[in-house]
Structure formats: C-alpha cells, structure tokens
C-alpha cells in the first residue's frame, strides 16, 4: 500500500505533531511520502525523523500550479491513497481530485474548522469558507477525537465515511530537556520561582485557547496562595491582549508570558501542574507531551479530553470558560500536593496504555485497509 500525505508545511500545532508521530510508526506498515508546500521547521523535523518528505513550493496559497505536479507524481509512483491534513492541503486536494480518478481522498480533521481562523477577520471569512467547500469533496474523513464527529456530519457526511483515530504519542522516544534553573533563568530571577508551585499553560496565543480563563483563575488563586506562579508559553496574536489583562489584575510578578518555546519538554519539566483552558479542542497533544514527564493536568471539558482525564481520578476537568471552577481545582492541588504526584503517575499510565503512537499507526493502517476494500 502506497500513501501520499499532503500538508502545508507551515503547521505549528497539533496537526504537525500528529503527522510526525503517525508517520514515524506508519512508515513500517505502508510505503508513504509527505509532500508539503514550503520549507521550514516542519520539513526539518520530518526529515530528522527519517520520514520520506519532499517540498513542492507554492508562490501563494492560491498557486495551483502544484496540482499538475502532484498529479504526475501520483501517476508515476502509483499511490493508492491521497491523505490531506489542514485547510491548505484540503484546498489543493479538491482540485487534485478532479484529475486523479479512482483513488480515495482522505482528510484528517484536527480541529473545529469553524474556529481555525477566528483570530484574523479576512481569514475567518475567506479561508473558513473555502475549507468547508473543499471538505465536502472528500471521500473519507478521519476525526482525531469523538467530539468532532458531529461537526463532520454537519457537512452532510454519512457515518460510513467517518473514522475515529485518537492522537498518539511516541512514549518510547528519548526526551531531552533543560534543567529547571537553566530554563527559568532566561525569564526571571531565581527568587521569583524558588519555593513556589508552578502552574503552566503551553499553547498558541489564540482566543480559542482560553488563556483569558487561565489568567482570571490565576487572579483568584494568588489572593490566598502567595507561593504559586503561573507561566504561559507560546506566541500568537493575543499576546498584547493577555499582557494587558496581567497588568490590569496587577499580576506582573505572578503571571509570566514566556513567548515561543522551542522545546516543549523544557516547559513541562519546569511546571508542577499543567493546565488546558481552551474553549475548543479535539485532543491536544500538550496533554500527552506533559504526561510523558508524568505531569498532573487540569483541563476544560473539551473534545475528547475526558476520554483520557477522569475527573478526580487521574486529573481534574472543569466546564468551558468557568475560571472560578478552574481556580478551585488549582487550589485543591495546592492544598494537597500529594495529589499532584498521584494524578501525574495515573494519567501517564493511562496515556501509555491507550494513546501511544504505535496504537495510532495500527489503527490508521486498519482504516486504510477498510477504505481500499470498500473501493
């Protein structure tokens, strides 16, 4: 079986991590190649993972000259399945499908496609519309969480064309990270974090990530808990807005915006409690990355997160947007620090059993087999 994966190459979120973790294991089960449309960190990471990848450069998002090049590649190499990831690849896939006959076209839905571009007005209007038009042309859909299935159905897609595939993580790979003091010394004096419990949130600075919820909860927690600080790792268009919130609440010595974090494990090694405060998610990789270091997690009740976190058993969940409930959950852990360690170990154990990259690749292979048998 030969599978061609298409992805923009500019991805920085879950789609990027998903395809690297998936293909690093899937390459042992099928012949695969990844094509992206720009050079950058994604290309370098895939190359370093010894996954077959090439670039067919686009001059712009609407440069469709790549379609003919992809068509000739598919015909020459004899690919059985074309598998797209993300809005740009979906858009190209829509035109490619008109030329490529009798080959199944699959797209993986990594997030709520109505929310993907909400931070930039013209992208929200144009790209969201084009993505939904493109999606309706695909033969099969893979949802990276059970919560997205109803969203896919809203496009008029029949159940039989939708498959569920949870994100998976390669827990066997070697993880490297900086020591806590080395990492934090770039951002603050040792006296700021010494003897403090550290609560962290690593995500892109977009509205959908609910970092305003995180800051509002921090504002409540620090009033009765002086020995705690909050770290936000990531970059994005909401940085100024979030900094203004921190200034307004006078939390400058309690909540810190660290900016872009190159190695997520530097961040997760540093914190004691990992928080996901998103308004919408499918199944965020940041939880799995943190569980690799046995970090305790509190998350909003979004997407398929409750399939991993059992509230009160191996972590805490709170209702979307409820910063008061999030604050209470953080305070519960601050008052019972043994729970932080206990939840971290339990969560890591469950993640390794049910959300490994090996399991994800095997499930993907079975999905491919079902699709080729149907056709």
State the Cα torsion 86-90-92-94 to the nearest 10°: 180
Question: Based on the number of CB atoms within 10 Å of its own CB, is 48 exposed (0-12), middle (13-18) or buried (19 or more)?
Answer: exposed
pTM for the whole structure = 0.79
- Do 246 and 215 meet the contact criterion of CB atoms below 8 Å apart? yes
Q: Are 268 and 288 in contact (CB under 8 A)?
A: no
| Per-residue pLDDT tens digits of the chain, which is 375 residues long | 999 999 999 876 678 888 999 999 999 999 999 999 999 999 999 999 999 999 999 988 788 999 999 999 999 999 999 999 988 999 999 999 999 988 999 999 887 765 665 555 556 667 777 878 899 999 999 998 777 888 899 889 999 999 999 889 989 888 999 999 999 999 999 999 998 999 999 999 999 999 999 999 999 999 999 999 999 999 999 999 999 999 999 999 999 999 999 999 999 999 999 999 999 888 888 899 999 999 999 999 998 899 999 999 999 999 999 999 999 999 999 999 999 999 999 999 999 998 999 999 999 999 999 999 887
d(CA 87, CA 107): 10
């Amino acid at each position: 079986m030969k599978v061609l994966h298409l992805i923009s190459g500019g991805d920085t979120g879950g789609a990027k991590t998903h395809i690297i973790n998936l293909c690093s294991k899937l390459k042992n089960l099928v012949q695969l190649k990844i094509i992206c449309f720009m050079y950058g960190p994604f290309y370098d990471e895939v190359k370093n993972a010894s996954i077959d990848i090439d670039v067919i450069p686009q001059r712009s998002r609407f440069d469709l000259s790549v379609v003919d090049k992809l068509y000739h590649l598919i015909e020459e190499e004899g690919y059985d399945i074309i598998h797209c990831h993300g809005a740009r690849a979906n858009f190209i896939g829509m035109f490619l499908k008109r030329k490529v006959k009798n080959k199944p076209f699959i797209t993986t839905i990594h997030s709520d496609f109505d929310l993907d571009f909400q931070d930039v007005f013209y992208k929200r209007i144009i790209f969201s519309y084009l993505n939904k038009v493109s999606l309706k042309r695909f033969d099969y859909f893979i949802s990276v969480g059970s919560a997205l299935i109803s969203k896919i159905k809203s496009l008029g897609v029949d159940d039989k064309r939708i498959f569920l595939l949870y994100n998976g993580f390669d827990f066997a790979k070697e993880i490297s990270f900086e020591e806590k003091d080395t990492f934090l010394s770039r951002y603050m004096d040792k006296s700021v974090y010494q003897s403090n419990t550290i609560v962290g949130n690593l995500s892109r600075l977009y509205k959908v990530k609910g970092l305003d919820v995180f800051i509002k909860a921090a504002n409540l927690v620090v009033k009765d808990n002086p020995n705690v600080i909050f770290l936000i790792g990531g970059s994005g268009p909401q940085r100024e807005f979030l900094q203004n919130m921190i200034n307004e609440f006078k939390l400058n010595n309690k909540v810190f915006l660290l900016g872009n974090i190159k190695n997520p494990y530097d961040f997760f090694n540093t914190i004691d409690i990992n928080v996901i405060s998103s308004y919408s998610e499918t199944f965020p990789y940041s939880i799995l990355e943190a569980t690799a270091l046995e970090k305790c997690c509190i998350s909003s009740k979004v997407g398929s997160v409750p399939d991993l976190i059992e509230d009160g058993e191996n972590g805490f969940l709170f209702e979307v947007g409820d910063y008061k409930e999030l604050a209470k959950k953080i305070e519960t852990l601050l008052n019972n620090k043994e729970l932080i360690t206990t939840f971290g170990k339990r969560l890591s154990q469950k993640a390794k059993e049910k959300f490994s990259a090996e399991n994800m690749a095997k499930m993907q292979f079975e999905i491919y087999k079902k699709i080729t048998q149907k056709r």
